[in-house]
Structure 1
Amino acid sequence: MSRIIPIFRMFDYAKAIQFYIDWLEFEIVWEHKPEGSPVYMRIAKGDVVMDLSEHHGDGTPGSRISITEFKGLKTFHAALIQKNYKYMKPGLERAEWNPEVLLMTVIDPFLNTIIFEEPL
């Protein structure tokens, strides 16, 4: 089956690791880190896959994606809050467009937005 993998632009490898790996608990699938060159990496959390790139022209800072059908959003949210990541304290809200959908929005250090959605 074919699928789309979004590419988010990043500017600082250490901040990307702190946000995506340490806080959101994505795993590194692979990295391309040639010495003295920009990093390109693939990360995943369950069946959610995305790429992060320091390369000029790969993605636009301030991009936005939605992760639909996310299971266990309340539990995931509680775990994130308990980690006390000082740069982001997301809330939970019902979608304006459908009160039967729970949302959590996070913004990475590079101003990219991820909206986690769970049908109630």
Structure 2
Amino acid sequence: MSDYKQLASRLRAALATDGVEVSHSRALELVAAQHGYRDWNTLVAAPDAAGHAVVVPILRVFPGGEATRFYRDFLGFTIDWEHRFEPGLPLYLQVSRAGCVLHLSEHHGDAAPGSALRIEVDDVDALQRQVRDSDVYPLRIGLDRQPWGDDLQIPDPFGNRLIFHTPRRSE
């Protein structure tokens, strides 16, 4: 998926040199259309090269800027797109980081706070250092080291738990 995001970034840059400004979300939609999908969500949900469908969990968040502060500013996710049916209505957005795609919803019926997600990452130690060194939240979270891998459990401000996991590789 990061290849598609890079394509969208290059498309935006190329269009900008011609004086055509498009938003990042519009560029993502254009890339999806170029690959034969009706929209970005359909492209993201399409099976990967191995034929596996992509699962995109929905997490409940509350109105205000805290979701952006936590997921973008603290954890380093990218906001791919945002949607509101009209001003003043709940926000629904997609964030992603290194192959992990999440939907965050302010809509009451979409999900219940208190969910837990297990997200595989290449280097949970590096993520722990990033979190520890961040000025956004004063969280000093330890790693849980097990024979099968290392976990970094991070609570979000909405009662959800993100468990970042690096499996132990057999030598």
Relative to the length of structure 1, the TM-score reads: 0.90
**With CA pairs under 8 Å and 6+ residues apart, which has the higher RCO, 1 or 2?**
1
Are the aligned partners of 1:102 and 1:118 in contact in 2 as well (CA < 8 Å)? yes
Question: What root-mean-square deviation, in Å, do the aligned CA atoms of Structure 1 and Structure 2 show?
Answer: 1.3
State how far apart, in whole Å, the 2-side matches of 1:88 and 1:76 are.
12
Determine helix, strand or coil for the equivalent of 2:65: helix
Q: Which has the higher helix share?
A: 2
The answer as to 2:113 corresponding to 1:65 is no
Equivalent pair of 1:106/1:114 in contact (CA under 8 Å):
yes
Aligned partner of 2:133 in structure 1 is: 82
Gaps of 5+ in 1: none
Q: 1:32 to 1:76 in 2, by over 3 A?
A: same
Determine which structure has more spread, i.e. the larger CA radius of gyration.
Answer: 2
Q: Distance in 1 between matches of 2:55 and 2:148?
A: 26
Alpha-carbon deviation of 1:117? 0.7
Percent identity between matched residues is 34
Change (3 A) 1:90 1:112: same
Aligned-partner SS, 1:76: helix
Residue in structure 1 matched with residue 159 of structure 2 by the alignment: 111
Structure 1 stretches (4+) deviating beyond 6 angstroms?
none
Deviation at 1:87, TM superposition (A): 5.0
Deviation at 1:51, TM superposition (A): 0.3
Structure richer in strand, relative to its length: 1
What residue ranges of structure 2 are gaps of 5+ in the alignment? 1-46, 48-52
Measured in 2, the distance between the counterparts of 1:78 and 1:111 equals: 23
1:49 aligns to what?
A: 101
What amino acid is the match of 2:88?
Answer: G
Say which of 45, 49, 54 aligns to 1:3: 54
Asked whether 1:30 is paired with 2:112, we answer no
User: So what's the TM-score if we normalise by structure 2?
Assistant: 0.64
